[in-house]
Chain A
Amino acid sequence: MSDAMVQNSPETVQPVLSVRNLKVSFEGPKGRAVAVDNISFDVRPGEMLALVGESGCGKSTVALSLMKLLASPPAIIEGSVYVKGREIFNLSKEEISKVRGKEMAMIFQQPMTSLNPVLTIERQLTEGLMLHEGLTRKQARERARENLDLVGIPSANERLNQYPHQLSGGMRQRVMIAMAMSCKPSILIADEPTTALDVTTQAQILALMSGLQDEFGISTILITHDLGVVAETANRVAVMYAGRIVETATSNDLFSNPSHPYTRGLLGAVPRLDALLSGDDMPSRLREIPGNVPSAGPAVPGCPFAPRCDRVKDRCHTQRPTPVELAPGHIVSCWEYA
């Protein structure tokens, strides 16, 4: 699976981030539950890769394990992750700290609880700068103020002296973005940055994020439920199902030619890109697919989607589908194409 992706990727540029055979399981009372099952993907310089999938398919688990932020135990993490060619899973704690915030930063799903309630915004915005860039307090404050301007927070000087509870949810998520962007990381991981916000704020935050991504050429992994968001902002999409990536394609390819039965199910009856982009008929949330969303459990030998698939064949239950490249960069893991 990984080889197919590495060798056949259309660009020869070195990816900023390469994930190889990432596997995450949780040791629980009922034995090991596999949340992320052997996935591999690349993020190329300056691109925005969307990671989509239903709730519980393991998106956050992927994001957190990339930053080595999952508590282990209970999590058992296997595989390798390369940031600009350097493997980071084998790094010591101290070395990982130098990657976090500096090379790779993260925006979390929960803006209300992700900021420390007892520290000022200034403190929380400057500590990364002082740590990674060796700035003095004064210089860091100045940079923090600029960053707040950048993310569109008015009267930045006053905001710096405030505490998180004095800010609205949208403002807090802007602060989180400013914080993540402060050291101009190569990779930004945004885990459903807008799920907790109201619709207008969602649009503003997304516009802000793609603006910043264009401006600074930061490679972004955007985790989302929202296909409308994907169509508008992402260059490429990886569709996750039950801990696996079942299809990877450019956004255009995915919407015009969804190939995995699960992707087709997600996009519903009208997977037309023009309709999606213009906003008519847009399935803004994932469409219901009959059957239950599986939660992390024992590893399945075959295709995890088989129980819900309308084109299921015998071997889908027993053999893991091998990835197939339908078009350059469009990879599907389904026995229909093998």
Chain B
Amino acid sequence: MLAACFLVGLLIHLVPGDPVEVMVAKMDAVSPEQIHAIREQLGLNAPPWEQSANYVWRVLHGDFGKTIFGREPVLEFLLSRLPNTFLLTICGTVLALAIGLPLGFLAAYHRGSWLDNLLMFISVLGVSVPAFWLGLVLLVTFSVHFQFIPVAGDGPASVILPAVTLGLVYSAIIARMTRSAMIEVLTEDFIRTARSKGLPERLVLMRHALKPGMIAVVTIAGLIFGYMMGGQVIVENVFSWNGIGRVAIHAMLQRDYPTIQGFIILFAAVIVTVSLLLDLVYMWIDPRIIKS
């Protein structure tokens, strides 16, 4: 984690330009001496590796620095936006699960049929459509044309479109994962045993296949979560949703190094926490884990 933190510090300097350039571009008549002074004050004149090492050192002491533009403490600034991000993520995930799981299950059950083919065709579209494009289409259709959902902002109603965008994109992935996990499970010997007992197909699926299938889905879900968070950043920007994803893009445009670094640490922390949570879920549904 620390090493990653250090590397990120180096990498952001690869992007040409620095915050001071962005800053002075908006003012007139700034002398080179003034620019140098500001850089000195912000510690930007040191070589990148030194800046990065210093940063890691300060983070270790709980100091995430201040944003270059607002001069606010980075951590508080980011944390204040986090609830918005969580709201959106939770709505999107719930929606994605609510759409993706049943459809994937249905496709697996009717594998090879026209329904399966249709669902998988739609999901290919879902997986390949970029989140920002789908977001824009929804935005134009529902807000601009029909005007019954606010275009952007923080109100409760305005969560609908970004959540639907996220939900649709990820439901496609979840449906595909669920389908392949279920198909895999349906070839297992114990499914044959269940059928040999005379259980109706519905019970074979609901009782014998669903849980092992979900275990497989949870396993993969942990892996794609990071990917989901990436989509979150884009969707937040399309809908001007005031979460940390939007902050991050702004910070990148302005080369606001401390904010970017803080964002990345926070982002990583969230992903790690979520995979730990998924491990707990995993332990809860898979009896084989508890013993070992």
Contacts and interface: CB of A to CB of B under 8 A. Distances in A.
Contact of A127 (B188, B207, B285, B286): B207
A115 B207 contact: no
Interface stretch (B9-17, B51-59, B74-82, B208-216): B208-216
Contacts of A269: none
Contacts of A176: 193
B195 A113 contact: no
Interface stretch (A35-43, A82-90, A116-124): A116-124
B113 interface: no
A176 B192 CA distance: 13
B198 interface: yes
Interface in A104-118: 105-106, 108, 110, 113-118
Nearest to B193: A114
A102 interface: yes
B201 interface: yes
B287 A67 contact: no
B285 A118 contact: yes
A69 B190 contact: no
A160 B251 CA distance: 59
B291 interface: yes
Contact of B197 (A64, A113, A118, A128): A128
Nearest to B286: A118
Contacts of A100: 195-198
A131 B199 contact: yes
Interface stretch (A20-28, A91-99, A139-147, A218-226): A91-99
Interface of A: 64, 67, 69, 93-94, 97-102, 105-106, 108, 110, 113-120, 123, 127-128, 131-132, 163, 165-166, 176, 179
18 contacts: A69-B192, A97-B200, A100-B196, A100-B197, A101-B199, A102-B198, A108-B189, A113-B188, A114-B190, A114-B193, A115-B190, A115-B193, A118-B211, A118-B288, A119-B207, A119-B211, A120-B287, A128-B198
| 4 shortest interchain CB distances as A-B pairs | A101-B198, A100-B198, A101-B197, A113-B189
